[in-house]
Amino acid sequence: METDFSYIDENYSRILFEVQNAAAKYRNSEDHIDIMAVTKTVDPEAVNHAVRLGIGLLGENRVQEYLAKKDFYSKNADVHFIGHLQSNKVKYIIDSVSLIQSVDSIKLAYEIDKHAKRIGKIQNVLIEVNIGNEESKGGIGKPFLRDLLYEAAEMKNIQVQGLMTIPPSENSEKFLYDMQQLYIDISAENIDNISMDILSMGMSNDYIKAIEYGSNLIRIGRGLFGPRNYR
């Protein structure tokens, strides 16, 4: 019996409509906004259905879960790693993810650089910023961001493509604004070997506001696949 994924169709249609409306209202006509499907606890069959609808990016949170599922994923989508990444787990994902969004320390950057060199790859990364300075979340503190950027710029097998954040749920608009200004400021500095092409922020509860404040990559899990089935 074929699984009914009509709920994904409906959710994706709504998300696409809202993204297009937000882009028309807040952004320039040439701006492109990527919609990422966050796949934590989602079965590959459902993920592949989302890819068939037109989603080209998948976001993985946990190394072990990703390794168990990756061979079942459609090859028509790129996989980004978006969750907390321990240095000793880099070697397991370096060959199969197109971008790591959660680089938050020099130690982790060095480990990615080392393993990327080992397999002859330039690994694209984002620097995750803890814009709300929350102890419960990953990301580098704003005062230390530039030190990490300049260190990463010296590494031969890493290419920083931009910034990522998960703002606090309370008063999130303030932090989305702060992140936008930080992104603009760093872009204007034109740091050698640092490309500010991606601002990844906005999830199921705040992606419209994130688009207003400059995000060009939103990460949707629950809004697309429904409530998570934790296991």
Q: Which residues, 6+ apart, have CB-to-CB distance to 43 below 8 Å? A: none
Residue 77 tokens read as 């989508």
- The CA-atom distances, in angstroms, between 139 and each of 23, 157, 186, 194 are 27, 21, 17, 18
Alpha-carbon span 214 to 99, nearest angstrom: 20
Asked if 91 and 114 touch (Cβ cutoff 8 Å), the reply is no
Note down pLDDT in tens along the chain; length 231 residues: 568 999 999 999 999 999 999 999 999 988 999 999 999 999 999 999 999 999 999 999 999 999 999 999 999 999 999 999 999 999 999 999 999 999 999 999 999 999 999 999 999 999 999 999 998 899 999 999 999 999 999 999 999 999 999 999 888 899 999 999 999 999 999 999 999 999 999 999 999 999 999 999 999 999 999 987 644
- Check if CATH label 1.10.3720.10 holds for domain 6-33+100-225: no
The domain spans of the chain are 6-33+100-225
Tokens 């200004």 belong to residue: 181
Q: Which residues, 6+ apart, have CB-to-CB distance to 70 below 8 Å? A: 79, 96
